[in-house]
Structure 1
Amino acid sequence: MTLLLILCALIYGIAMLFILLYSMAQAHLLYRFRLFRRLGKRAAPPAPEVWPAVTVQLPVYNEKYVVERLIDSVAALDYPADKLEVQLLDDSDDETSEIIKIKIKQYPHLNLRHIRRPDRSGFKAGALKYGLALAQGEFIAIFDADFTPQPDFLKQTIPYFANAKLGMVQTRWTHLNKDYSILTRLQALALDAHFFVEQVGRNSQHAFINFNGTGGVWRKATILDAGNWQDDTLTEDLDLSYRAQLKDWQFLYLPEVESPAELPPVMSALKSQQFRWTKGGAESAVKHLGTVLRSGKPLRTKYHALAHLLNSAVFVALLVASVASIPLLWAKVHNLLPSGAYEAAAVMLLGFVVISLVYFQANFLGKSMGMHRVLGFLLYYPLFLSVSMGMALHNAVAVWEGWTGRKSPFIRTPKFNLEARQHTWQENFYRNMQMPFTTYLEGLLGLLFLAVAIWSVVQQEYVMLIFHSMLALGYLLVFYHSALSYRRT
């Protein structure tokens, strides 16, 4: 029994140490972000005397709810019409294709090309590669179907490519439906931390950053030099980003340029998106981590690349630590382990404090720190942290599949456009995913941690009460909202 407890303590310690080391990278990004902010606003480069040719790629697959809005937004781009090509890379097998055909007739003065492939091989990466071979532009702007680029998007980004070494410009996502529900508010909190603190923190010290799949502009020559789009991971954007930067192309992140987009309003859509991002990140880590560590990049750059490529492993560490904590709590009640072990465990929890500071900074950026905003953060952040914990099983499965090379298809995230429609998300035609077995396990884990939390109160042992209570709340909320949002058979 003692040996088993020591093993649990060792597993728990390794998992929490990983989270602590990851949080140290986050702390450094927060420091670099604040330093960047103190330097003030950067001066925008002058507009070129002659605007270069640009191809806007719009990869679309079954997007009947949002494709008209997308075309209208791109048609409103303020850019010389004779230098602008728009590719609608349409892989749809529903009425979306017919909607596109009708819609583009409203803009006869624009070079709108409706491109259909023979098959959907390679999914999004395959569509982008197919379109790139036909693209006339020197630069390639990419928008997913749920984005609505601002009219001045190209005129704010293209001038930076006067730097011949610049390969990609990424802009900041903003949220069309942030206030739709608690779920969208929590997603906005997570994404703002990435698009404010992490991207700025990395880019300000010339560490690896990633193209976020949309809302950015590539130099076409960069894509080709880096080996073109590849479909061997579910995050073709992250994969190409690392290949390009390993070939010494520079990337630029512009937090001042906004790219509005829609957040998934239901749990099933969010899970689909999270699974693809998390598994693709794990696949990209397997593909690139060794190359990065063997490269001639500075040690600090390698450290941040390590944290970047392994950030999804935090969910594995959290799942392992949470399960291992149960026998450790039992051992604490029965005095089977030295008290020093629990003091060391408390130090490990500092990682969560550091991560909380990152989200606190992102939440208040450019906004007043009034008491109502502080109270709002204190209300939403514990809920966000709980739900993130409740996603640990789902995302840990994705990470494991990515690490072990198990392949799965590219599952699109259903789009809703609820602001423009009168009916509810329950009527969305694309909400056709069946509830997976892991969702039932999330419900069981929620009940397990609830029982553990109650037992710890009965035993008057409170050392892990908050941790287990948040786990219980998170898993039960994820299970409940998942059960509501998946299709019934």
Structure 2
Amino acid sequence: MIVWDNFFWFTSYILVFTALSAFGAHRIKVLYHFWKHRDDVPVPAYEFKELPFVTVQLPIFNELHVVENLLRTVSALDYPRDRLQIQVLDDSTDETAPHAEKLSADLKAQGFDIEYRHRTNRHGFKAGALDEGMATAKGEYICIFDADFQPAPDYLKQVIHHFSNERVGMVQARWGHLNKDFSLLTKLQALFLDGHLVLEQTARSRHGEFLNFNGTAGIWRRKAIEDGGGWQHDTLTEDLDLSYRAQLRGWKFIYLKDVVVPAELPPDMDGFKSQQHRWTKGSIQVCKKILMDVWRSDIPLRLKIEATSHLTSNFAYLLTLCTLVLMYPANFVMGSSWHKAVFVDVPVFFFASLSVVIFYMTAQGAQQRGGWLKTLPYVPMLLALGIGMSINNGKAVLEALMNQSSEFVRTPKYGVESKAQAAKQRPLYKAGKSIALWIEVLLTGYFGWMIALAAQRGQWGSIPFLLLFLFGFGYVAAGSLMKRFSMAALQAQPVRA
């Protein structure tokens, strides 16, 4: 019986970590394509003699802290006023609405072609707001900015000429990070995002593979939106959904790594969790909706394989959850041997762990000389944070698989770049309740017990791996608990003028 138990656990261990290693191997492929095309910078076919008409859409929802800066930044875009329309698509239910309406009226009085639209039903959430805005949008090209983005004055002129190629349907700029140095959490978020924004998007674009509009800081050709079926709201990631539908219709997407639009990273753990939950759940919803269309299409096989890898990548969080179940038997039932170390542990470590380290360090090195070296001290916490988010994001995957609907939860924006600014600001938006937090607390205790057990049995080699789980769940849980305690303390204090 013990032999069969060992066989079961060993087989399960192999299957789960082989799947995780496959995702790791894909990162190596992305790295190869990035370096292969690192000098293939996209250039326009030609520059427009007369600049085309552009509509800038600004979808907002309860963005009191950042809406004024958004409108100030967008109104400073260096583009002919007679070729530019601004749409403020406001679904706010708080004091943002009257404030945004007044700001819009002020800009209109200054001669800007600006339209303020306020909805009270939030039908379709962000996708619904964008879709309704299309009815009165005047532009041949549609530019979209979320509330916390701050485009440079020359943004439109840097991007618009790429549409001189009539098959280009969307051009995406890279996100920057306004508050990267705010805290350890924002530093880690920037590292995570740069893996996608610097490496994946660049590699896919320059290698001729499907990529996605990132929801903001990009410009669409109106015809591509319409030909792709328009904005639909049956998923939480309408940007990814429309991206695939448009590219399956033959539209080409371009990614401009060197055009950077800075934005705010969620400064607290609950905001980060909320954002990750929405992105993860939405991507699986799009996978269910689009993947079969990808395989039924006549695009080349290599594009189908890459699209499959892209759309299924968040299943890795479910595999990480499986490791939680396998952790005890893998270390204390199966035991250890040189066979397992050579044929299982070493390959798994390389593809599932070391590939992650190389991937994110390369993303920083590609941005600045010595960037990879500056990243090195954060690598253990980067791995730990990925593990710690597995409950939150694994829950999102399961909800998508079970067709459990949920509303589009905005990521709170505070307009803070330093702790001095944060200390002066009273948060307006509360964190939601989640059972995932208490599971993270329990898992922190569980892995503390596992480490003690490993030390008692002299299995010192497993302790560094277990420490990643301990610190990951502990850090994520502590971040959420601290937010709740600070909110409770603030609610107990009188508001000072």
- Aligned partners of 2:26, 2:298: CA distance in 1, in Å? 20
Shift of 1:118: 4.8
Q: Which residue of 1 aligns with 2:413?
A: 415
**In structure 2, what residue type is equivalent to 1:62?**
N
Aligned partner of 1:245 in structure 2 is 247
The 5 Å alignment of 1:362-373 reads 362-369=363-370
1:126-168: CA deviations, max 9, x gaps? 0000001211100000000111111111101110001110000
Partner of 2:206 in structure 1?
204
Equivalent residue of 2:116, what SS?
strand
**Does the Cα contact within 8 Å between 2:143 and 2:217 map onto a contact in 1?**
yes
Distance in 2 separating the partners of 1:463 and 1:70: 51
Instruction: Look up the match of 2:71.
Output: 71
Q: Tell me if 1:88 matches 2:83.
A: no
Q: Deviations over 1:299-351 (max 9, x none)?
A: 22122111111111111111212320211211244x7xx75345332122221
Alpha-carbon spacing, 1:136–1:289, altered in 2? closer, same or farther (3 Å): same
Instruction: Give the match for residue 284 of structure 1.
Output: 286
Q: Quote the Cα distance in structure 2 between the aligned partners of 1:463 and 1:304.
A: 36
How does 1:205-244 map onto structure 2 within 5 Å? Answer: 205-244=207-246
Letter of the 1:381 partner, please give it.
Answer: V
TM-score between the two structures when normalised by the length of structure 2: 0.93
How far apart, CA to CA, are the structure 1 residues paired with 2:325 and 2:460? Answer: 17
Q: Name the CA distance, whole Å, in 2 between partners of 1:359 and 1:123.
A: 33
- Tell me the alpha carbon deviations over residues 110-132 of structure 1, each in whole angstroms, 9 at most, x when there is no partner: 11110123521100000000001
Q: CA contact under 8 A between 2:44 and 2:165: conserved in structure 1?
A: no
C-alpha contact (below 8 Å) 1:435/1:482 kept by paired residues: no
- Distance, in Å, in 1 between the alignment partners of 2:184 and 2:251 is 40
CA distance in 1, matches of 2:26, 2:410: 31
Query: Is the Cα contact below 8 Å between 2:361 and 2:372 reproduced in 1?
Result: no
CA distance in 1, matches of 2:213, 2:421: 34
| 1:220 Cα offset (Å) | 0.6
Asked if 2 retains the 8 angstrom alpha-carbon contact of 1:25 and 1:304, the reply is no
What's the offset of the Cα at 1:43? 4.0
Q: In the TM superposition, what are the counterparts of 1:347-386 in structure 2 within 5 Å?
A: 347-351=347-351, 352-369=353-370, 376-386=374-384
Could you tell me how far apart the structure 2 residues matched to 1:374 and 1:125 are? Answer: 37
Residue 222 of structure 1 and its aligned partner are, at CA, apart by 0.6
Counterpart of 2:137 in structure 1 is 135
CA offsets 1:374-419 (integer angstroms, 9 cap, x no match): 5532211111111111111111010111122111111100111124
State the 1:109 CA deviation. 1.2
CA distance in 2, matches of 1:481, 1:267: 5
Tell me the distance in 1 between the aligned counterparts of 2:136 and 2:7. 61
Deviation at 1:368, TM superposition (A): 2.2
Alpha-carbon separation, structure 2, partners of 1:22 and 1:295: 24
Separation in 1, partners of 2:13, 2:425: 41
Task: State the one-letter code of the partner of 1:297.
Answer: I
- What amino acid does structure 1 have at the position aligned with 2:91? D
SS in 1 for 2:329: helix
Distance 2:42 2:91 in 1: 40
d(CA) in 2 for partners of 1:278, 1:426: 30
Q: CA deviation at 1:185?
A: 0.4
**CA separation of 1:195 and 1:422: change in aligned 2, threshold 3 A:** closer
Report the CA distance between 1:78 and its aligned residue: 0.5
- Percent identical residues: 38
Q: Does 1:403 align with 2:404?
A: no
Residue of structure 2 equivalent to 1:390: 388
2:54·2:84 contact (CA, 8 Å) conserved in 1? yes
User: Cα offset for 1:205?
Assistant: 1.3
8 Å CA contact retained: 1:16, 1:349: no
Summarize deviations over 1:22-73 as a string: whole Å, max 9, x none: 1222111111111122x35444554311111100000011100000000001
Distance 1:11 1:127 in 2: 46
Query: What residue is the counterpart of 1:50 in the other structure?
Result: 50
Structure 2: distance between partners of 1:245 and 1:466: 44
2: CA distance between counterparts of 1:293 and 1:219?
26
- Work out the CA distance in 2 between the residues paired with 1:42 and 1:461: 52
| Structure 2 gap segments, 5+ residues each | 492-497
Asked whether 1:311 is paired with 2:313, we answer yes
RMSD (CA atoms): 1.8
8 Å CA contact retained: 1:11, 1:321: no
In structure 2, the residue matched to 1:345 is 344
2:10 and 2:245 map into 1 onto residues whose CA distance is 39
Match of 1:100 in 2: 100
**Alpha-carbon contact 2:364-2:372 (below 8 Å) kept:** no
User: 1:85 & 1:377 partners in 2: Cα distance?
Assistant: 41
Map of 1:195 onto structure 2: 197
Check the 8 A contact 1:275/1:398 in 2, yes or no: yes
TM-score, scaled relative to structure 1: 0.94
CA–CA distance in 2 between the matches of 1:251 and 1:480?
40
Equivalent-residue separation in structure 2 for 1:11 and 1:424 (angstroms): 49
Cα contact 2:236–2:278 (8 A) shared by 1: yes
1:480 is aligned to 478
**1:170–1:215 contact (8 Å) kept in structure 2:** yes
Q: Secondary structure at the match of 1:134?
A: coil
2:187 paired with 1:185: yes
Are 1:113 and 2:112 counterparts?
no
Displacement of 1:215: 0.5
Aligned to 1:28: 29
Structure 1 counterpart SS, 2:387: helix
How many residue pairs end up in the alignment? 481
